[in-house]
Amino acid sequence: MNKLKLILILIVVFCTANFGFAQVGINTTTPLSTLDINGNLSVKTITLTGSSSATLINDGVYISVNPQATDQEFQLPSPITYPGRVYMIRNINNTITAKLTTAAANFFFKGLTSGGVNSIYMYDNHYRTLLIVSDGSNWTVFEY
């Protein structure tokens, strides 16, 4: 009976240890990364219309902001709370500036290690579309 218990324990240990290094493939039989997708990827898209107080950005990946008044505020969550989170944000209003802020920390434009800012103004010909990534401490900003 003890040998049977030992064998069962070893099987469970080996099976669960193997899952820790698993790779998932979608439309591929030989995934090369933790998640390997051979095909298209769709992400959640939402449109946020500004309001009288700061409009919180807490859902979606591709976010269209539509300010209704100049410098209307759209606020990202804390990058500390959501390390690795990615947002693509676009001001879809052609005439009104959107103000992008964060609940904590700063925005750093790609390649900068100092000179972080606590808000970004998005308007027609400047910062129209931004890719923003949390590094666990701050938001890193890529302009498109």
Which are the contacts of 42, defined by CB distance < 8 A and separation ≥ 6? none
User: At residue 63, does pLDDT exceed 60?
Assistant: yes
Per the structure, the count of domains in the chain is 2
| β-pair type (24-26, 35-37) | parallel
Quote the pTM value.
Answer: 0.77
Each residue's pLDDT tens digit, 16-51: 555 556 788 899 999 989 889 999 988 899 999 999
Residues 56 and 25 grouped into a single domain: no
- Comparing 121 with 4, which gets the higher pLDDT? 121
Residues 78 and 133 grouped into a single domain: yes
The H or E element containing residue 63 is strand 62-66
Residues 105 and 74 grouped into a single domain: yes
Domain of residue 23 covers 2-37
Residues 20 and 89 grouped into a single domain: no
Residues 27 and 49 grouped into a single domain: no
Residues 94 and 132 grouped into a single domain: yes
Is the separation of the CB atoms in 103 and 76 below 8 Å?
A: yes
Each residue's pLDDT tens digit, 68-121: 999 999 999 999 999 999 999 999 999 999 999 999 999 999 888 888 999 999
